[in-house]
Structure 1
Amino acid sequence: MIVEPRSIAIIASREDVSTLAACIRSAIQACKDRRAVVDVLVNGNPELAHNIAGLCVDVPPTCVLRVWRIQQGDKAHAWNEYVHRIWASDGDAIFLDGYVEVEPDSFDALDRGLATAPEAQGATGVPTCGRSALHLRALMLSEGGFHGNLNLIRAGVMAKLRASGFRLPLGLYRTDSVTGAVLMLGLDPAANHWDRRRIAVVPDAIWNVRSMERITFKNILGQWKRMLRQAQGVLENRAVREHLIVRGLAPHLLPSTAHGLVNGWITAQPAQARRLFIKQPLCAWVAWRLRVPRDWSAADIAPVVVPAPVKRHSIV
């Protein structure tokens, strides 16, 4: 039996070096000496890319570790770059956020979950830490879902996404929700019904997140920004549902930006938008902010591998 190598994509941007290093270390350990290519996609933070590359020097001989500097700071763009430029068509693709630490058996658990669900196009881990973890875990196990902290997409599905030209809209907050929706619709909303069995929810694929520091102005500001992103996520979910489920349009025809996605939905469904804005005023403010297009010119710059400087420390 030929065992395919693991392809790991770690998406990072605002993490500190120690947090990202712990994530990389946990991913390498979870590979358990199986051949693997671990790609660290640092978007919009060249200093972090340089600093983490300085640590990536001593890894197992079975593992290839690459740190990529991606000029545009955006998770959706980093995901797109991995699908279309970086993934080497070699094995299923496992995605991690740069601030998590996976448990040593989590990757094997994803494999086991897929083995018992041949109809699944991907698999997802479930949260065990955080205030809403227990509720979200139970919801995912009963109704399905796709979690952005740790998930897997089959190699064949990755190849189809690449061939179709599918890209997540730039500036998207709900990257996992949109990706999960596309998978549950079998990549073709016109031909397939929503089927949660297309994503295997694996209760043994888990991770940890370092606890938040004491309350500071920076943390309070961060929480406010999260609230704004969550309000944007509500708008995105409405717009994506309109595109994929109501209109049955192909995923690769999604607007290229979250700005275009949300504003297109507001224009097409003004009555629905008004009702949402009355119920959730923060969504109205976020929609007003999204009226101004963002400069995405840096997204045209190809990612580059950051060479490791003179050996200083070991990541493992």
Structure 2
Amino acid sequence: MTTTWSIAVFAHNEATNIAATLGSICVVEDGITIRVVVLANGCSDRTASIVRELATLNNNLQVIEIPLADKANAWNLYIHEISANSSLSVAEMHVFIDGDVQVESGSLKALAAAFEQAPTANAAGALPVTGRDREAWRRRMLANGTLAGGLYALRGSFVERIRRRGIRIPQGLIGEDWLVSLFAKSDLQPLAGNGYAVLRIAFPSGAGFSFRSLDPRRLKDWHTYLRRLWRYALRGVQFEMLFGWLMHQPPEALPPNMEQVYRQALPPSRLKWIGPTSPLRFLAIQRIRLLRARKSPN
């Protein structure tokens, strides 16, 4: 009997990293078929052409170009359209990988084994093995049961349930991993009264991912760092608003995009102090309030 693993790689202008990422995925296991789909979203570089060149040597690799640079939109497209076709819909495990990370050897096998060892788990997450903050990051993931977008997996039957119920991530959300974690931990139920007593997310010790850390000596990395700080601040506000939304509503009730969330859900308080990034949080809430004040489209 053949086992199928479907792998979705999210890439936005990852021409310098995508070949290494795909090379790290290679798994040779008897009885296992691996299908790899690269979702090149909003790319203006050679990401897609590099994948097409590599696909000439691997029949199980394909690239799909998406005009919109939005990971949430690409995730929805994979779940509801790409993975719904006959060859991928039977996958026992769906793996999600960022196009700038490398998968540690044995990680996919460890993720698959986690589902066998934990029958109630909807998701399995890999832990970071690089990064200056990796130890604290790992502790937060384990303590909160939160997946990292760099590398995680969903059980095939769980993906089928998401597809059947029409659950989508709001377009424009930054960091789908947090929301997918909530989906998995709550078993697709409203959050209120959900004690998370059952193991729904497993973190096998043999699954890990690595990435290049930012170098303070590189001017380009400073730009990346500052942009990342702003996105983290906006992401935190988005999460607060979505958490409140999901307390008493099922995930299929989520609006299709974040602009509708901004208009329909109350923004959090601007006075909350979260540390040195509080000024960025204040600016993020101000931006959301401005979007909220705009006249709703007809």
The answer as to 2:80 corresponding to 1:84 is yes
**Aligned equivalent of 1:30:** 27
Shift of 1:253: 1.3
The answer as to 2:127 corresponding to 1:126 is yes
**Aligned equivalent of 1:8:** 7
Whose RCO is larger (CA < 8 A, sep 6+)? Answer: 1
Shift of 1:36: 1.2
**Aligned equivalent of 1:314:** none
The answer as to 2:50 corresponding to 1:51 is yes
**Aligned equivalent of 1:208:** 210
Identical aligned residues as a percent: 29
Greater Cα offset, 149-158 or 252-261? 252-261
Task: Provide the C-alpha distance between the structure 2 equivalents of 1:288 and 1:191, rounded to a whole number of angstroms.
Answer: 28
SS of the residue 1:233 aligns to: helix
**Aligned equivalent of 2:69:** 73
**Which residues of structure 1 form unaligned runs of 5+?**
294-316
Q: Which runs of 4+ in 1 moved over 6 A?
A: none
Shift of 1:159: 0.9
Task: Provide the C-alpha distance between the structure 2 equivalents of 1:31 and 1:242, rounded to a whole number of angstroms.
Answer: 44
Q: Is the 8 A contact 2:10 2:98 kept in 1?
A: yes
Task: Provide the C-alpha distance between the structure 1 equivalents of 2:126 and 2:281, rounded to a whole number of angstroms.
Answer: 29
Q: Is the 8 A contact 2:8 2:36 kept in 1?
A: yes
The answer as to 2:280 corresponding to 1:259 is no
Task: Provide the C-alpha distance between the structure 2 equivalents of 1:192 and 1:5, rounded to a whole number of angstroms.
Answer: 36
Q: Is the 8 A contact 2:129 2:210 kept in 1?
A: yes
**Aligned equivalent of 1:185:** 186
Q: Is the 8 A contact 1:7 1:90 kept in 2?
A: no
**Aligned equivalent of 1:282:** 280
SS of the residue 2:227 aligns to: helix
The answer as to 2:177 corresponding to 1:176 is yes
Amino acid at match of 1:218: K
Write out per-residue CA displacement over residues 88-122 of structure 1, whole angstroms, 9 at most, x where no aligned residue: 31212100000111122001101111111111111
Task: Provide the C-alpha distance between the structure 2 equivalents of 1:20 and 1:137, rounded to a whole number of angstroms.
Answer: 25
Q: Is the 8 A contact 2:13 2:44 kept in 1?
A: no
Q: Is the 8 A contact 1:123 1:201 kept in 2?
A: yes
TM-score by length of 2: 0.87
SS of the residue 1:180 aligns to: helix
Q: Is the 8 A contact 1:38 1:66 kept in 2?
A: yes
Amino acid at match of 1:23: T
Write out per-residue CA displacement over residues 267-301 of structure 1, whole angstroms, 9 at most, x where no aligned residue: 5xxxx4233379722112123334449xxxxxxxx
Amino acid at match of 2:76: N
Assess, with a 3 A threshold, how the Cα gap between structure 1 residues 90 and 274 changes in structure 2: closer, same or farther: same
Task: Provide the C-alpha distance between the structure 2 equivalents of 1:252 and 1:211, rounded to a whole number of angstroms.
Answer: 36
Greater Cα offset, 92-101 or 131-140? 131-140
Task: Provide the C-alpha distance between the structure 1 equivalents of 2:28 and 2:284, rounded to a whole number of angstroms.
Answer: 41
Q: Is the 8 A contact 1:127 1:206 kept in 2?
A: yes
**Aligned equivalent of 2:113:** 112
